């Protein structure tokens, strides 16, 4: 037996390699990043020269993956939950075009928002696009389901989503690998030359095809080895466990559950198991990580059936990730009363690293903006978002990738002066460039600071897609060269940065200031 | 991080009350292992590793993970990645057992050990500690917040706990040859409470530091043994 110690995310990476992908496409995002990093460092992937470089954002990643699938090859595309918002346009339409080579869309949700701005549940997207969703409960299933997902994708002709959450993503366990990994597909064009042409007349046909497939998806799900029914003697309650929630349920009943239960890891919901459970129990408890998707479906609008418990009726908290303790409480299992934590305990929030270039930028920015009052700096997603916290208190927004540029533009349109945006190099290339084009086209009165640390640092120092070309991009978009400034973000350049900020705030139009210095974490790793 | 392969089934684990480490059998055939399982009951060890992002608690988790795999144990180890790694409070939940493990998270009140490389952080996870559990903590504060409590008050809170081993890991590590090996001092200090064979832990330390050369391996082994001796002495005094 061949066992390997892997994180949940790494298990997906290994599953994709053993499932015969020819390439992975992704943009880094916690907790999904290490799926791609695992493939990047894997000997087999290197030997086969699988595609494994980062994309500019999740949309470009998924479209490139679609191109690989069009050409007949198997592919994996990965992102964090909010990344799927960026790729939602292509995702919704791939369900309609269908695929040629098998495609798995691996999405890592972040309930409790450990490293995210929301805790949206990607299963809704799977439901919305009407494609099968697999939700592993452990590392072994993450591996097995990636291979099964690629097979299922080719069997059904649509992309298959694998949804995991932070806890599984970043927990390690031993997994058994398959003895005979799949080999890569050969190059082959789609049999129907119109399959990928979503002109209205053809799109209607393709959509009808997707609707017709739903019955097949349900049948496969009802027969899936990933959905199981277990009998129990106590019929007062039946349990529906989805994905990782199964672990927290079994943690409380490690030997055997007194209640009958269903373990669901393959959607659409298996109606056969649910009907069987409902017919024999008095009430149902739904345990699911994320939003109450299954609970809502089972409950119905008028609640005329048996009582359904879960996150909606307060049996479990409406927000945040599940824990063994929360599930124990929902099962009315008594736990010992816990001691109070010492009163001296204080929070230790994350902070910018000692010597980080963003620190120098915020120090200068605070000096200048002090003259104009609070609330006039928009920012974005990355390490520099920590500038919202003490001791900086420099920024007033963090919404979605690239929103700093466009919010500053909109606020300038409204008459806010000065209107300043702070964005990182990688977030700028991910989704800031088009917003800058809007600002240039309207000569918006704003200053854009691109904190260029030559790295995607928050997720672990991946290469930024426009390394060394940020100023050229700004010029290409139409920012006037005399209003683009690059300087090294160092304490000794403090006065220079202050004077540049003053000068460009005074200029009525779009200015870009690029304080640049390599991320100190990345530099330390490079020198190791 | 180096990725290792190995079987993860079989026997062994923690006896927090029994402080003597018995010589464990080398990895034998499965029959011997199975007999071993039958003799012991509820072999299960849940450890909360605590620290501040950047302090490198994951190297401790890696050593314990490798040693557990070497001894055919089931293992789950959940860690913190992402935003909180930037100088924030970080924790890792390490679970070892001779039976399959379900939850990646440790239920509250069930951890046998809190192993913390920073004193304030050791207090943060006390809800996870079982009634018989031990806190093994470094005493050197890592002060990167303005409202850090008085270090003496932190120590007073620690002293109130029934079972605690507090060790100045930096000081011990300096004597061992390199202040950077303080994590291995902490692992050593925890090792008498974790029923993993000494030679497996030593081998795992060799494995993770091997690429940095023999000198670094030796310093870390020395640091590990210094931490271990500290705990053993404390245990003997308590007897």
Residue B160's contacts (CB-CB under 8 Å, 6 or more residues apart) are: none
Domain boundary among A223, A258, A278: A223
In a domain, A324, yes or no: yes
Q: What is the pLDDT of residue A184?
A: 98
**Confidence (pLDDT) at B55:** 85
Which of these, A362, A360, A355, lies nearest to A379 by C-alpha position? Answer: A362
Distance CA A244, CA A467 (A): 39
Minimum-distance CB partner of B104 among A167, A174, A254: A167
Cβ of residue A337 closer than 8 Å to a chain B Cβ: no
Task: Determine, yes or no, domain membership for B4.
Answer: no
What residue numbers bound the domain in which B154 lies? 38-238
Number of domains in chain A: 3
Q: Tens digits of per-residue pLDDT, A77-97?
A: 999 999 999 999 999 999 999
CA angle B203, B206, B210 (to 5 degrees): 150
- pLDDT tens for A123-174 read 999 999 999 999 999 999 999 999 999 999 999 999 999 999 999 999 999 9
Cα(A491)–Cα(A506) distance, integer angstroms: 24
Instruction: Decide if A345 touches B, using CB distance below 8 A.
Output: yes
The pLDDT value given to residue A527 = 86
B43: CATH: 3.40.920.10
| pLDDT, tens only, A378-418 | 999 999 999 999 999 999 999 999 999 999 999 999 999 99
Structural contact between residues A444 and A484, judged by C-beta atoms closer than 8 angstroms: no
Within a domain: A335: no
Please check whether residue B179 lies inside any domain of the structure. yes
Residues of A in contact with B157 (CB under 8 A): 342, 344
Per-residue pLDDT tens listing for chain A (528 residues)? 557 899 999 999 999 999 999 999 999 999 999 999 999 999 999 999 999 999 999 999 999 999 999 999 999 999 999 999 999 999 999 999 999 999 999 999 999 999 999 999 999 999 999 999 999 999 999 999 999 999 999 999 999 999 999 999 999 999 999 999 999 999 999 999 999 999 999 999 999 999 999 999 999 999 999 999 999 999 999 999 999 999 999 999 999 999 999 999 999 999 999 999 999 999 999 999 999 999 999 998 898 899 999 999 999 999 999 999 999 999 999 988 888 899 999 999 888 998 999 999 999 999 999 999 999 999 999 999 999 999 999 999 999 999 999 999 999 999 999 999 999 999 999 999 999 999 999 999 999 999 999 999 999 899 999 999 999 999 999 999 999 999 999 999 999 999 999 999 999 999 999 999 999 999 988 887
The number of CA neighbours under 13 Å toward the Cβ of A440 is: 19
Domain boundary residue, one of A223, A245, A279: A223
Please give the Cα distance from B151 to A341 (Å, whole number). Answer: 17
* Partner B, chain A 230-259, Cβ-Cβ below 8 Å: 244, 246-248, 250-251, 254
CA of residue B231 relative to chain centroid, distance? 13
Residue B5: DSSP 8-state: B
The CA distance from A517 to A491, in Å, is: 12
Range of the domain at A131: 3-223
Top residue of A1, A2, A5 to mutate, by most chain B CBs within 10 Å, is: A5
Any residues with CB less than 8 A from the CB of A154 and at least 6 apart, and which?
Answer: A74, A99, A101, A102
B228 in reach of chain A (CB within 8 A): no
A239 and A272 in a single domain? The answer is: yes
Whether residues A38 and A172 share a domain: the answer is: yes
CA B121 to chain centre: 14
Do A348 and B145 make contact, defined as CB atoms within 8 angstroms?
yes
**Is B33 among the domain residues?**
no
pLDDT tens across B100-150, in order? 999 999 999 999 999 999 999 999 999 999 999 999 999 999 998 999 999
CA-closest candidate to residue A425, choices A517, A524, A525? A517
A214 and A236 together in one domain: no
Residues from chain B that touch A348, judged by Cβ atoms under 8 A, are 52, 87-89, 120-121, 144-145
Q: Is residue B10 part of a domain?
A: no
Beta-carbon contacts of B130 under 8 Å, excluding residues fewer than 6 positions away, are B109, B110, B111, B112
Q: Decide if A172 and B79 are in contact by the 8 Å CB cutoff.
A: yes
Order of strands, edge to edge, in the sheet holding A133-134?
A21-26, A74-80, A103-109, A160-165, A133-134, A266-267
Residues of B in contact with A248 (CB under 8 A): 102-103, 105
Are B87 and A350 an interchain contact pair (Cβ–Cβ within 8 Å)? yes
Collect all residues of chain A within an 8 Å Cβ-Cβ radius of residue B131. 336
Same domain, A219 and A244: no
Other beta carbons within 10 Å of A335: 14
pLDDT in tens, A425-450: 999 999 999 999 999 999 999 999 99
- Cα→Cα distances A171→A149, A337, A469, B112, Å: 21, 28, 37, 19
CATH number at residue A246: 3.40.50.920
Of A3, A324, A345, the CB nearest to B103: A324
Run of H or E residues at A104:
strand A103-109
> The domain that contains A134 carries what CATH number?
3.40.50.970
Query: Which residues in chain B are closer than 8 Å to A323, comparing Cβ atoms?
Result: 105, 107
Q: Chain A partners of B7 at a C-beta cutoff of 8 Å?
A: 1, 3, 174
Give B53→chain A minimum CA distance, Å: 8
Q: How confident is the model at residue B15 (pLDDT cuts 50, 70, 90)?
A: very low
Q: Looking at this predicted complex, what is its ipTM?
A: 0.92
């Amino acid at each position: 037996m061949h066992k390997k110690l892997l994180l949940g995310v790494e298990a997906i990476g290994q599953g994709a390699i053993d499932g015969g992908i020819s390439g992975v496409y992704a943009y880094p995002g916690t907790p999904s990043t290490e799926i791609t990093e695992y493939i990047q460092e894997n000997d087999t992937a290197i030997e086969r020269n699988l595609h494994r470089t980062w994309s500019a954002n999740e949309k470009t990643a998924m479209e490139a993956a679609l191109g690989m699938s069009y050409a007949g090859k198997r592919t994996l595309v990965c992102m964090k939950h909010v990344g799927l918002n960026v790729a939602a346009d292509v995702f919704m339409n791939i369900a309609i075009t269908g695929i040629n080579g098998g495609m798995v869309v691996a999405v890592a949700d972040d309930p409790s928002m450990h490293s995210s701005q929301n805790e949206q549940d990607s299963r809704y997207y799977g439901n919305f696009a009407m494609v099968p969703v697999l939700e592993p409960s452990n590392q072994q299933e993450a591996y097995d389901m990636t291979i099964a997902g690629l097979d299922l994708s080719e069997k059904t002709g649509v992309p298959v989503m694998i949804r995991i959450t932070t806890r599984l993503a970043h927990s390690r366990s031993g997994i058994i690998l398959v003895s005979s990994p799949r080999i890569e597909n050969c190059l082959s064009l789609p049999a129907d030359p119109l399959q990928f042409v979503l002109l209205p007349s053809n799109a209607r046909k393709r959509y009808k095809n997707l609707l017709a497939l739903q019955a097949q998806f349900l049948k496969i799900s009802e027969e899936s080895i990933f959905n199981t029914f277990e009998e129990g003697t106590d019929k007062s309650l039946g349990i529906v466990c989805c994905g990782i929630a199964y672990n927290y349920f079994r943690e409380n009943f490690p030997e055997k559950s007194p209640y009958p239960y269903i373990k669901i890891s393959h959607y659409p919901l298996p109606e056969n198991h649910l009907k069987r459970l409902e017919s024999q129990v008095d009430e149902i408890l739904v345990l699911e990580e994320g939003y109450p998707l299954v609970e809502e479906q089972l409950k119905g609008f008028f609640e005329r059936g048996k009582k359904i418990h879960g996150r909606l009726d307060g049996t479990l908290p409406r927000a945040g990730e599940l824990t063994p303790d929360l599930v124990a409480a929902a099962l009315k299992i008594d736990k010992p009363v816990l001691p109070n934590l010492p009163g001296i305990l204080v929070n230790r929030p994350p902070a910018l690293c000692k010597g980080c270039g963003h620190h120098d930028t915020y120090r200068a920015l605070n000096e200048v903006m002090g003259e104009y009052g609070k609330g006039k700096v928009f920012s974005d997603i990355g390490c520099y978002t920590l500038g919202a916290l003490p001791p900086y208190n420099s920024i007033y927004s963090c919404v979605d990738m690239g929103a700093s540029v466009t919010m500053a533009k909109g606020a300038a349109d409204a008459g806010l002066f000065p209107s300043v945006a702070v964005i990182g190099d990688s977030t700028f290339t991910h989704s800031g460039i088009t917003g800058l084009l809007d600002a240039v086209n309207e000569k918006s009165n704003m200053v854009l600071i691109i904190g260029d640390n030559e790295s995607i640092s928050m997720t672990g120092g991946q290469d930024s897609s426009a390394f060394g070309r940020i100023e050229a991009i700004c010029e290409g978009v139409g920012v006037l060269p005399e209003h683009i400034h690059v300087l090294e973000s160092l304490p000794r350049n403090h006065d220079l940065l202050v004077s540049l900020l003053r000068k460009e705030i005074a200029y009525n139009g779009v200015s870009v200031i690029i304080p640049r210095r390599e991320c100190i974490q990345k530099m330390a790793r490079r020198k190791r | 991080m180096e990725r290792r392969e190995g079987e993860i089934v079989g026997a062994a684990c923690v006896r927090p009350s029994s402080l003597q480490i018995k010589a464990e059998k080398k990895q034998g055939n499965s029959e011997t292992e199975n007999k071993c399982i039958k003799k012991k009951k509820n072999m299960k060890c849940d450890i909360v590793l605590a620290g501040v992002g950047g302090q490198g608690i994951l190297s401790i988790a890696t050593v314990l993970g490798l040693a557990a795999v070497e001894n055919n144990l089931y293992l789950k180890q959940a860690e913190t990645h992402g935003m909180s790694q930037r100088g924030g409070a970080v924790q890792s939940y390490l679970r070892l057992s001779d039976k399959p493990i379900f939850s990646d998270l440790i239920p509250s009140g069930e951890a046998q050990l809190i192993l913390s490389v920073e004193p304030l952080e050791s207090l943060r996870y006390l809800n996870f500690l079982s009634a018989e559990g031990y806190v093994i903590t470094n005493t050197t504060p890592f002060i990167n917040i303005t409202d850090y409590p008085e270090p003496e008050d932190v120590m007073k809170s620690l002293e109130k706990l029934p079972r605690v081993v507090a060790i100045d890991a930096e000081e011990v590590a300096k004597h061992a040859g390199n202040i950077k090996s303080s994590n291995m001092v902490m692992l050593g200090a925890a090792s008498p409470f974790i029923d993993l064979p000494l030679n497996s832990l030593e081998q795992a330390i060799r494995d993770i530091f091997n690429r940095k050369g023999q000198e670094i391996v030796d310093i870390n082994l020395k640091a590990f043994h210094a931490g271990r001796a500290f705990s053993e002495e404390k245990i003997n005094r308590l007897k």
